[in-house]
Structure 1
Amino acid sequence: MWSTYLFLTMLLVLLTVLPKIQNPHWIFRVPEFGKIQITYCILGTIILGFLVGRSENIWYSQALLGVLFIHHGVTLVKYTPLYPVKKYQRRNRSSKKLHFISANVYQFNKEYNRFINLIETCKPDVFLTMESNGDWEKAMRPLEKNYMYQHKVTLENTYGMHFYSKIKIKEAQTHYFVADDIPSFEIHLQTEDGFSFVFFGVHPPPPSPTEEETSKERDGDLLSTAKRVKDIKEPVIVVGDFNNVAWSKSSILFRKTSHLIDPRIGRSFVSTFHAKYRLLRFPIDLMFHSEDIFIEELKTLENFGSDHLPVYCEFFIDHHNEEQEQLVEEASQEEIQEAEEMIREGKEEDGERDTIVTED
């Protein structure tokens, strides 16, 4: 038990230190995803230490674990209801409530009807799918009678993306910020009650031993989106499978560069991946919004066979609100230069994706 305690202590120190090293290799970036699980493991190891208690020097390691627990806890508490964030009430001049669903459907998931039933039950105003290929596009055609407006990029490399809307699309663009096989959507919409907003859909590749060796393309793609968002004057929502967590350095740079707000702060983690393993579930399907967007509900929905849980959001658009604007953080000049460097590196990176991907 004593050797197990020492091994766990050293491992938890390593997993805490690795993300602090600003190296884009997946070995350094992947531990960022498990901050929630690492924090629970630290607490469990502290309890184990009290049970073992064989060495008079154990208090040194217990104190170290306590410092690690506080270090992680200070970050994670921001994404819980314990963190005070003012809630805003709808006003008479605001838009009607709007709803969207964002779902990484998992390209090889064949349970199309479960997803279609989810859409027909929840009746979102718009929904975005990621990893949707030709088979998924064909399966979703019955939904088009209720979702007259669409924007689609059908790919077989797990980076296809489809957008369906009951709200009128004024303009739609597909960006390829860092690679010609990684699309991002920019959709300009006009509601029936006269409110305009812009919906961005993103799905950059993850750093992992089975996909991209580094986070360069992911970070470059996200920060390119942030740079584009900053120049838009209308209300903005950015949604998708970020393959990133909100507390990572690149996510914080994204938030500051785009001048957007993270609605998870003061609310919950809204963990989505992996859908089948609750204890190994990370919040990587993210959302950010401008100060004109007000979130009333943000949650996950039931699993429909994918490896990601879908994200459901209920929001409304209001006119400029100085109090919510205080939640916007702006990047320093040094951070702006760092973001530009990450964009450049992302464009230079040569991703290793096939045109057609088959399930292993």
Structure 2
Amino acid sequence: MLTFYYIFISLLFIFTILPKIPSSHWIFRVPDFGKIQITYLTIILFGIGFFVEKNQYFWYSQAFLLVLFVYHGITLVKYTPLYPVKKHQRNSHSSQKIHFISANVYQFNTEFNRFIDLINRNKPEMFLTMESDSHWENALQVLEKDYPYQHKVTLENTYGMHFYSKIKIEDSKTHFFVADDIPSIEAHLKTEEGFEFVFFGVHPPPPSPTEEETSKERDGDILSVAKRVTEIQKPVIVVGDFNNVAWSKSSILFRKTSELIDPRVGRAFVSTFHAKYRLFRFPIDLMFHSEDIFIEELKTLENFGSDHLPVYCEFFIDEKNDQQEERIETADHEEKEEAEEMIQEGKEEDGERDTVVTED
């Protein structure tokens, strides 16, 4: 048992140090996803340590595990209610509450009615689907009477996106920032009260042994969105399956470059993938917003057959309230240059994706 104790300590150290290595290869990027699990395993192993055979290295090993726990905990505590973040109430200057659902539907999931029922039960003003192909588009037509405004990017490569809204879409466009088969949606909306805002839907490819070898396209895509956000003078929300976690280097660079706020801070992890395995679930469906958007609720909803849980959000707009300004971090000159380099690397990366993807 003592041997396994030291083997697990070594593995925890390796998974902790790999994300610190400046390489875009998936081997170095994927361990960032498991920071929550690594933290739990660290404290469990610390407890188990008191039941193994003691040797001259025991207390050094226990101290090391404690240091690892503190190291990860300092990052993760920000994404819990333990981290103090001021809550804001709606007032006479604010918009009415607006709700949206963001869901990676999983292209090969055919339980269309479960998702349609979820939309009908929660009645959001907007919803975004990712991995939605022509079959999903046809199935969702029954909702179009309630959601008369749409922006559709129908693809069969697991990167299709569909945006449906009860709120008027005054203008919308599809961006292909780093590749001609990886879309992002930019929709300009205006409520009946006259509040204007911009909704971005994103879904960059993940670094993984089965998909993209590196994170270059993912990072280039989200940082291109960040760059575009800085050109917009309206309240902004960016939502989607980022295939990234909020504490990764590229997510932090995205947040600083775009000057947006991460609503998970002071709230919860809101883990979404994998929907079927609670213990191995990562928060990769992210959301960021500008300082004049105030989040009242952010949570996951029940599984509808996809490998991702849907994200539900309730927010309001108040451009006369500047109390969230202190939550904004800005990129310095060096970070902006790094973001530009990563965007260029993403455009130069030649991702190998089929036009039509079939389920194995």
* Pairwise TM-score range, normalised by the shorter structure: over 0.9
1:178 CA drift (Å): 0.1
Give, in whole Å, the separation in 1 of the partners of 2:21 and 2:70: 19
**Alignment correspondent of 1:9:** 9
Stretches of structure 2 lacking an aligned partner (at least 5 in a row):
none
Is residue 2:305 matched to residue 1:301?
A: no
Alignment partners' CA distance in 2, 1:327 and 1:235: 15
Q: Which amino acid letter does the alignment assign opposite residue 200 of structure 2? A: F
Question: Partner residue of 2:24?
Answer: 24
1:302 partner amino acid:
E
- What's 1:261 paired with? 261
3-state secondary structure, aligned to 1:267: coil
SS state at 1:334 partner: helix
How far did 1:53 drift? 3.9
Any idea what SS the aligned residue of 2:314 has?
strand
The answer to whether the 8 Å contact 1:291/1:320 transfers is no
CA apart distance, 1:63: 1.0
> What is the rounded CA distance, in whole Å, between the counterparts of 1:228 and 1:16 in structure 2?
33
Tell me, what secondary structure is at the counterpart of 1:102? strand
User: Which residue is 2:52 aligned to?
Assistant: 52
Distance 2:30 2:205 in 1: 13
Distance in 1, matches of 2:288 and 2:320, equals 17
SS in 2 for 1:129: strand
Q: Does structure 1 residue 103 correspond to structure 2 residue 118?
A: no
- Cα distance in 2, alignment partners of residues 321 and 21 from structure 1: 40
Native 8 Å contact 2:292 2:322 kept in 1: no
| Letter of the 2:222 counterpart | L
In structure 2, the residue matched to 1:136 is 136
Aligned residues of 1:275 and 1:308 also touching (Cα < 8 A)? yes
Which residue in 2 is equivalent to 1:337?
337
- Is it true that 1:36 corresponds to 2:36 in the alignment? yes
Distance 1:100 1:257 in 2: 25
Q: Secondary structure at the match of 2:82?
A: coil
Using the size of structure 1 for normalisation, the TM-score is: 0.99
1:75 equivalent in alignment to 2:75: yes
Kindly report which structure 2 residues correspond to 1:1-360, keeping only aligned pairs within 5 A, or say none: 1-360=1-360
SS at match of 1:23: coil
What CA distance in whole angstroms lies between the structure 2 residues aligned with 1:57 and 1:208? 36
Percentage of matched positions with identical amino acids: 74
Deviations 1:146-184 (A, max 9, x none): 000000000000000000000000000100000000000
Which string of whole-angstrom CA distances, capped at 9 and with x for unpartnered residues, describes residues 234-289 of structure 1?
00000000000000000000000000000000000000000000000000000000
Shift of 1:321: 2.5
Give the C-alpha shift of residue 50 in structure 1: 1.1
Distance in 2 (alpha carbons) for counterparts of 1:322 and 1:22: 36
CA distance in 2, matches of 1:256, 1:321: 21
Determine helix, strand or coil for the equivalent of 1:354. coil
Cα distance in structure 2, aligned partners of 1:164 and 1:128: 7
CA distance in 2, matches of 1:236, 1:322: 15
| Cα shift at 1:64 | 1.0
Q: RMSD of the alignment, in Å?
A: 0.6
**AA at the equivalent of 2:265:** I
Post-superposition Cα deviations, 1:306-325, rounded to whole Å, max 9, x if no partner, equal: 00000000000002433201
The alignment partner of 1:326 has SS state of helix
Q: Separation in 2 of the partners of 1:57 and 1:127?
A: 55
Q: In 2, distance between residues paired with 1:285 and 1:233?
A: 25
Structure-1 separation of matches of 2:147 and 2:50: 59
Contact 1:93/1:318 (<8 A) preserved: yes
The runs of at least 4 consecutive aligned structure 1 residues that moved more than 4 Å come to none
In 2: Cα distance, 1:319 partner to 1:126 partner: 21
> What is the DSSP-based 3-state SS (H/G/I as helix, E as strand, rest coil) of the residue aligned with 1:32?
helix
Name the CA distance, whole Å, in 2 between partners of 1:319 and 1:171.
21
- The one-letter code matched in structure 1 to 2:62 is Q
Q: Structure 1, residues 100-143: CA drift from partner, whole Å, max 9, x if none? A: 00000000000000000000110000000000000000000000
Q: Deviations over 1:327-357 (max 9, x none)?
A: 0000010000000000000000000100000
Q: Counterpart of 1:111 in structure 2: which amino acid?
A: E
For residues 348 and 320 of structure 2, the distance between their equivalents in structure 1, rounded to whole angstroms, comes to 39
CA distance, structure 2, for counterparts of residue 323 and residue 187 of structure 1: 26
CA contact (8 A) 2:93 2:320 kept: no
8 Å Cα contact 2:237/2:289 also seen in 1: yes
- Taking the aligned partners of 1:114 and 1:92, their CA distance within structure 2 comes to 38
- The runs of 5 or more residues in structure 1 that have no matched partner are none
Structure 1 residue 56: Cα displacement: 2.3
CA contact (8 A) 1:206 1:215 kept: yes
